[in-house]
Chain A
Amino acid sequence: MSNTTDAIGALNGALQVAIQMLIRAQEVSAMIQAAQAEGRDLTDEELLELAGKDDAARKALADVLAASPAA
């Protein structure tokens, strides 16, 4: 039974990362499609917008780590 539980745990881990990847990929895909509809490539401003969201995610992880007790 523990082998089954471990296997499902591993699948859940892979799934959780895949979901986060998919959410971000969908966001970027929509951004590219909007740019293509206007007949242009993504601009540096749009890349900076994504970099800003990345900064926010970095801060969120740093905050979680700061609040987490050491092992």
Chain B
Amino acid sequence: MVLRANNPHHQEERMMTRLYHALTAAAIWLSMAALIAGCAAGTVKPETLNQRLAYAYGAHTAVLESAALQVKAGTLSKADGESILKIADESRTLLDGARSAQLAGDTPTALGRLQVASSILSQLTILLQQREGAK
């Protein structure tokens, strides 16, 4: 075992395998990034408050789904996942409040709640991206 680990030929082989995996992952990432950029360009720009609310609900769902995937994959700890869930719940309360305010015709309140909820969602998204990168 020690002899095998110290064998220069074996070490070179392992390095080449790692390099191959790194390059493959980078190529896949670049392809997916290009695909995402293309698809994102095709989404409709929100023009009304209800449309902005709809995108915010979608982003909220994406944060929850990303957190679940990362906890399952072991790249996000249970404690961090629970923190994200707790903060996401606050964001969801704000979104529901914005929807209720809009229904009642109180657009300024709806806009204010939507802005705070969106800000929280942006922070959660950054946190999720950094957590996976930190592992």
Q: Which residues of A contact B (CB under 8 A)?
A: 1, 4-6, 8-29, 31-33, 36, 41-44, 46-47, 50-51, 53-54, 57-58, 60-62, 64-65, 68-71
12 A–B pairs (Cβ distance < 8 Å), ordered by A: A17-B128, A17-B132, A18-B36, A21-B58, A28-B57, A36-B44, A41-B50, A42-B51, A47-B99, A50-B57, A61-B67, A65-B82
Contact between B33 and A68 (Cβ–Cβ < 8 Å)? Answer: no
What are the interface flags for B50-61 relative to A under an 8 Å C-beta threshold, 1 for contact and 0 otherwise?
Answer: 110111011111
Most B CB atoms within 10 A — which of A9, A12, A17? A17
Q: Decide if B78 is an interface residue (CB 8 Å cutoff).
A: yes
What are the interface flags for B14-34 relative to A under an 8 Å C-beta threshold, 1 for contact and 0 otherwise?
Answer: 010011001001100100110
Which residues of B80-104 are within 8 A (CB) of A?
A: 81-82, 85, 88-89, 92, 95-96, 99, 103
Contact between A12 and B132 (Cβ–Cβ < 8 Å)? Answer: yes
Q: A9-B135, A65-B71, A70-B78 are in contact. Are A24 and B48 (CB under 8 A)?
A: no
Q: A47-B50, A60-B65 are in contact. Are A21 and B59 (CB under 8 A)?
A: yes
Contact between B65 and A64 (Cβ–Cβ < 8 Å)? Answer: no
Contact between B22 and A42 (Cβ–Cβ < 8 Å)? Answer: no
Majority-rule SS of A interface residues: helix
What are the interface flags for B114-131 relative to A under an 8 Å C-beta threshold, 1 for contact and 0 otherwise?
Answer: 000000000001001111
Q: Decide if B111 is an interface residue (CB 8 Å cutoff).
A: no
CB of A22, distance to nearest CB on chain B (Å): 5
Contact between B61 and A50 (Cβ–Cβ < 8 Å)? Answer: yes
Contact between B68 and A60 (Cβ–Cβ < 8 Å)? Answer: yes
CB of A27, distance to nearest CB on chain B (Å): 6
Contact between B132 and A29 (Cβ–Cβ < 8 Å)? Answer: no
CB of B20, distance to nearest CB on chain A (Å): 12
- Residues in A neighbouring B25, C-beta threshold 8 A: 8, 12
CB of B102, distance to nearest CB on chain A (Å): 8
